[in-house]
Chains A and B, each alone.
Chain A
Amino acid sequence: MKVEQISIFLENKPGGLSLVTKTLKDANINIRALTLADTSDFGILRLIVDHVDKAKKALKEAGLAVGLTHVVAVEVPDKPGGLNGIIEILSKAGVNVEYMYAFIERSGQNAVIIFRFDQVEQAIDVLLKNGVTVLPGEKVYSL
């Protein structure tokens, strides 16, 4: 039920992002979701792509520091209070969210949110028990 996310270390300088996007373009990789977190000196770009291993290999070959993290893709009802319902479930169970971001595509009538948890297994368990749909990797990569 886990999704593999690629993270890339980027210095805060012109041209940093373009190396990533160009590398992915040349490797014919499609970006499915992304978020950029930054400080004054550096940033971390997190990506969900259609072909994880191929993307990782290409980025490493381009000389970037690349990490692979397991995140969780959750279906969220696309209506007011949809995300709140999910967060309340996690909050009650004492599950901590490190960060989260929204997926570009929808899954049927639902939005998709990517969650990063410290305790991934526990989080998936809690979500499933509460009837939340957690999307498997293969489905997410090809949404």
Chain B
Amino acid sequence: MIYNEEFETLPREALESLKLNRLKQVSERVYHTVGFYKKAFDEVGVRPEDIKSLDDLKRLPFTTKQDLRDNYPYGMFAVPMSRIVRVHASSGTTGKATVVGYTKRDIDVWAELMARCFAAAGLTSHDIIHNAYGYGLFTGGLGVHYGAEKLGASVIPISGGSTKRQIMLLQDFGPTVLCCTPSFALHLAKVGEEMGVDMRTLKLRIGIFGGEPWTDKMKAEIEKKLNLKALDIYGLSEVMGPGVAMECIEARNGMHIFEDSFIVETIDPKTGQTLSPGEKGEMVFTTLTKEAFPLIRYRTRDISQLIVEPCKCGRTSVRMSKISGRSDDMVIVRGVNVFPSQVEEVIMKVEGLEPHYQLIVERQGTLDTLEVQIEVSEKIFSDEIRKLQVMEKKLTKDIKDYLGVIAKVKLVEPNSLQRVEGKTQKVIDKRKI
């Protein structure tokens, strides 16, 4: 089913013209309302009126995560706070979270895009959605929630955690749809099995999974264990939240990007050059409808590729394939964004600790594990075991407090971490995603 027939099936020509009009408007607006963009446009010598065709988008400057951090918390807002009705913040950042704002209209548009996602997944008002995305600053929980209500489906706002209780509700409440991260879906399956629950006989028929990278192999495993059809959803809080793109149940081949709200580009992450459709590169988004937090050419660091061929579902939008990696060294562990630089900040706070460290991410069974290995320097080294253990504990706690993720801290010998050209490799991801 197509939720918004008019906009989702616009002929390409009309869609391009709509995108151009909206791009002109948003360029004009950010130039005059967001100090950062006036400066950024002026620096590259481009004015909003220079945008004459969609191709001129290339002339506009990029926006990076660092730009958002530099303007923490509200510096990128394009409307006064009196018009902001909600804020969210990206997960796992150390006091420099990226804060995003929404006007009433932004929330409505977001709900509609999420409703489009659900319709693309074949959901109707008869469905019951078990929403295990976290509710709170993270956009997942509330994003799904508003979209589900917009569609008229029933929502069980269970949020994350308390797995056993979730399994009880999955049995008792009879949800037909599961929304969560793919690793949590596998975790549910595993815990359910351990509890002696036949997870294949639940009423679940569709799973909408996102928020972290996952493989087709995981998809097959989830489908087998939970006896449902697993679909991929894409989004990030900076661009809006979940609902930027969604896989349709008809083709199940790539996620439809809602192009009336977002312009997508693929770029070479090293040179910043725009790539042709179909080439693998970093996804860059420009928001077309957001009032509070418009972004021009936001570099997501997510690596994917675009599919421009028409889809059999009837939607005319381009699709993006499953995220295949990152162009920076961020890792997503159990749905939390972890930047090595954040771990480094925590380590550096311990006096005398040198920043030779490495993050090792593994998948044990169904859950991701993070180990932080830190080289012991002479300054912190003690002949007393107890002092080193206290330090390990403190680091574990600090990492949990600042990043929201549980890591095992392990002290290692000096110079024992793998170095490339004298630098320690910050992340080793053994999950083979």
Chain A residues in contact with chain B, CB under 8 A?
5, 7, 9-11, 16, 37-39, 41-42, 44, 46, 63-67, 69, 98-99, 116
Determine the chain A residues whose CB is within 8 A of the CB of B412 once the complex forms. Answer: 11, 42
Determine the chain B residues whose CB is within 8 A of the CB of A66 once the complex forms. Answer: 378, 381
Compute how far the CA of A63 lies from the CA of B376 in the bound complex, rounded to whole angstroms: 11
Determine the chain A residues whose CB is within 8 A of the CB of B416 once the complex forms. Answer: 11
| Interface of chain B residues 373 through 397 with chain A (CB within 8 A) | 376-378, 381-385, 388-389
Task: Please state if B383 and A65 are interface contacts (CB–CB under 8 Å).
Answer: no
Q: Output the least CB separation between B7 and chain A (Å).
A: 57
Contacts A11-B416, A37-B385 supplied; 17 other A-B pairs, CB < 8 Å: A5-B383, A9-B388, A10-B413, A11-B412, A11-B413, A16-B413, A41-B410, A42-B410, A44-B383, A44-B384, A44-B385, A65-B377, A65-B413, A65-B414, A66-B378, A98-B384, A116-B383
Task: Please state if B389 and A7 are interface contacts (CB–CB under 8 Å).
Answer: no
Which one, A9, A37, A69, A116, contacts B376 given CB within 8 A? A9
Determine the chain B residues whose CB is within 8 A of the CB of A37 once the complex forms. Answer: 385
Instruction: Say whether, besides A63-B414, A65-B414, A39 and B378 are in contact (CB < 8 Å).
Output: no
Which one, A16, A44, A65, A116, contacts B378 given CB within 8 A? A65
**Main SS class of interface, A:** strand
Determine the chain A residues whose CB is within 8 A of the CB of B383 once the complex forms. Answer: 5, 7, 44, 46, 67, 69, 116
Q: Mark B267-302, 1 if CB is under 8 A from A, else 0.
A: 000000000000000000000000000000000000
Q: Output the least CB separation between B252 and chain A (Å).
A: 45
Compute how far the CA of A7 lies from the CA of B383 in the bound complex, rounded to whole angstroms: 6
Compute how far the CA of A39 lies from the CA of B384 in the bound complex, rounded to whole angstroms: 11
Most buried by A among B382, B384, B411: B384
Task: Please state if A9 and B415 are interface contacts (CB–CB under 8 Å).
Answer: no
Compute how far the CA of A16 lies from the CA of B416 in the bound complex, rounded to whole angstroms: 11
Measured CB to CB, the nearest residue on chain B to A37 is: B385
Compute how far the CA of A9 lies from the CA of B378 in the bound complex, rounded to whole angstroms: 9
Task: Please state if B385 and A9 are interface contacts (CB–CB under 8 Å).
Answer: no
Determine the chain B residues whose CB is within 8 A of the CB of A63 once the complex forms. Answer: 413-415
Task: Please state if B381 and A65 are interface contacts (CB–CB under 8 Å).
Answer: yes
Most buried by B among A9, A10, A38, A63: A9
Determine the chain B residues whose CB is within 8 A of the CB of A7 once the complex forms. Answer: 381-383
Q: Output the least CB separation between B24 and chain A (Å).
A: 59
Task: Please state if A41 and B411 are interface contacts (CB–CB under 8 Å).
Answer: yes
Task: Please state if B410 and A9 are interface contacts (CB–CB under 8 Å).
Answer: no
Determine the chain B residues whose CB is within 8 A of the CB of A67 once the complex forms. Answer: 378, 381-383
Q: Output the least CB separation between A120 and chain B (Å).
A: 13
Task: Please state if A9 and B411 are interface contacts (CB–CB under 8 Å).
Answer: yes
| Interface of chain B residues 398 through 433 with chain A (CB within 8 A) | 410-416
Q: What are 9 pairs between A and B in contact, CB < 8 Å?
A: A9-B381, A11-B412, A41-B410, A42-B388, A44-B382, A44-B384, A63-B413, A65-B376, A116-B384
Determine the chain A residues whose CB is within 8 A of the CB of B410 once the complex forms. Answer: 41-42
Determine the chain B residues whose CB is within 8 A of the CB of A46 once the complex forms. Answer: 383
Compute how far the CA of A38 lies from the CA of B267 in the bound complex, rounded to whole angstroms: 51
Measured CB to CB, the nearest residue on chain B to A16 is: B413
**Pairs of residues from A and B, 7 with the lowest C-beta to C-beta distance, nearest first:** A7-B383, A69-B383, A65-B376, A65-B381, A9-B376, A67-B381, A63-B415
Compute how far the CA of A127 lies from the CA of B95 in the bound complex, rounded to whole angstroms: 52
Q: Output the least CB separation between A116 and chain B (Å).
A: 7
Measured CB to CB, the nearest residue on chain A to B382 is: A67
Q: Output the least CB separation between A11 and chain B (Å).
A: 5
Determine the chain B residues whose CB is within 8 A of the CB of A39 once the complex forms. Answer: 385, 389
Compute how far the CA of A99 lies from the CA of B412 in the bound complex, rounded to whole angstroms: 23
Q: Output the least CB separation between A96 and chain B (Å).
A: 12
Measured CB to CB, the nearest residue on chain B to A45 is: B383
Most buried by B among A7, A10, A42, A63: A42
Compute how far the CA of A41 lies from the CA of B388 in the bound complex, rounded to whole angstroms: 11
Determine the chain B residues whose CB is within 8 A of the CB of A42 once the complex forms. Answer: 388, 410-412
Q: Output the least CB separation between B374 and chain A (Å).
A: 11
Task: Please state if A64 and B414 are interface contacts (CB–CB under 8 Å).
Answer: yes
Determine the chain A residues whose CB is within 8 A of the CB of B378 once the complex forms. Answer: 65-67
Q: Mark B142-158, 1 if CB is under 8 A from A, else 0.
A: 00000000000000000
Determine the chain B residues whose CB is within 8 A of the CB of A65 once the complex forms. Answer: 376-378, 381, 413-414
Compute how far the CA of A41 lies from the CA of B384 in the bound complex, rounded to whole angstroms: 15
Q: Output the least CB separation between A98 and chain B (Å).
A: 6
Determine the chain B residues whose CB is within 8 A of the CB of A38 once the complex forms. Answer: 385
